[in-house]
Chains A and B, each alone.
Chain A
Amino acid sequence: MTTEHLDGNALAGPLGEIFAVDVTAAVGRCASCGLTGPVASLRVYGPAPGLVARCPGCDEVVLRLVRGPGAAWLDLRGAVSLRVELPE
């Protein structure tokens, strides 16, 4: 059976439309189980009707991204925080 999901690197392009930094390298914390890891380690379902990125520890939704004509909807309520490395 083929795997049902992709890894979080699949989010690089769609999130790159919204953010100036590569968010897949950011370290997030799952709001459900507290697991911490890079966005690239999430399990990504979709892309249609939308991208749904789930925690590899508990399968809860960490991030959702829907791209419509002329707008995108981003839901990060499943992430407590995103740590983004920036130059000093």
Chain B
Amino acid sequence: MSIISRGFRGRRREDDDRLPPGQYLVDDFPVLSAGPTPRVPLDRWEFAIDTEAEQTHRWSWAELMALPQETPTVDIHCVTKWSKLGTGWRGVSLDTLFENIETAVEYALVYSYGGYTTNLPLEDLLDGKAWIVHQFDGEELEPRHGGPARLLVPHLYLWKSAKWVRGIRLLEEDWPGFWETAGYHNYGDPWREQRYEGD
């Protein structure tokens, strides 16, 4: 005889209200790649923010590590329909990196080692919504997951969270990135299922 009433059973995983429409949960961490995995030695790694005034602000790996570190725990959603809940990261908030940046533009183009790009409104990178992360689940971020450092913008589909991030260019006009010029949605909000152009 069962002593567990139906009311105490867990909800079916796909009914989890943290799961956006059309997504399913995974426990592993799938790797999707559009090219060879770049290997970037830390002594040559740098991150840059390029402003519309053609000023470039640069951080070496040591300078990034010296900045205040945050440990966001967030849900991530891939456009290929898998989601992973409660993922733990460590890195630097973009609010910290933008502290001394003067800009009046609305658009950002993120670029990576290896040539990948992705675009998003600048406001989606600020106010606690995005980080440059270098640890996942307490370990150094593996190259196949974007190490040594990747962008993390968890409120948008994961293709916006550019692996092997190298810099952010601030632009007066929107400039669609790698997948955004090949049929994927320009913004990519998982809660509105903005997967493809026209969604």
For the complex, what is the distance from the CA of A19 to the CA of B26, rounded to whole Å?
36
- Can you name the residue of chain B whose Cβ is closest to the Cβ of A72? B183
Given A68-B195, A68-B196; A46-B34 close (CB under 8 Å): yes
Residues in B with CB closer than 8 Å to A60 are: 115
Per-position 1/0 for A29-66, Cβ under 8 A of B: 00000000000000001101110101000011100101
On chain A, the residues within 8 Å of B3 by CB distance are none
Task: Tell me the interface secondary structure of chain B in the complex.
Answer: loop
**In contact, A66 and B33 (Cβ under 8 angstroms):** no
CA distance A59 to B38 in the complex (A): 11
| Nearest-CB residue, chain B, relative to A50 | B182
Q: Is the CB of B80 within 8 A of A66?
A: no
B34: chain A residues at CB < 8 Å are 45-46, 49-50, 52
Interface pair B35/A71, CB less than 8 Å apart: no
* Cβ contact within 8 Å between A66 and B36: no
Q: Is the CB of A64 within 8 A of B182?
A: yes
Q: How many of A's residues come within 8 Å of B, CB to CB?
A: 20
Question: In the complex, are the beta carbons of A71 and B183 less than 8 A apart?
Answer: yes
Q: B37: CB under 8 A from chain A? A: yes
* A49 to B159 Cα, complex, angstroms: 9
A75 within 8 A of B: yes
Chain A residues near B183: list those with CB within 8 A: 50, 66, 68, 71-73
Query: Which A residues are in CB contact (< 8 Å) with B195?
Result: 68
**Is B24 in the interface zone, CB < 8 Å from A?**
no
Kindly report which residue of chain A lies nearest to residue B196, judged by CB atoms: A68
The reply to whether B196 and A45 contact each other, CB–CB distance below 8 Å, is: no
A5 / chain B contacts, CB cutoff of 8 Å:
36
- Residues of A near B37 (CB, < 8 A) are 4
The answer, yes or no, to whether A87 is at the interface (CB within 8 Å) is no
Contact of A48 among B32, B35, B181 (CB under 8 A): B32
Q: Mark A60-88, 1 if CB is under 8 A from B, else 0.
A: 11001010110111010000000000000
A86 CA / B183 CA spacing, docked (Å): 30
CA A64 to CA B178, docked complex, whole Å? 10
Question: At the interface, yes or no: B132 with Cβ under 8 Å from chain A?
Answer: no
Q: How far is the CA of A72 from the CA of B182 in the complex (A)?
A: 9
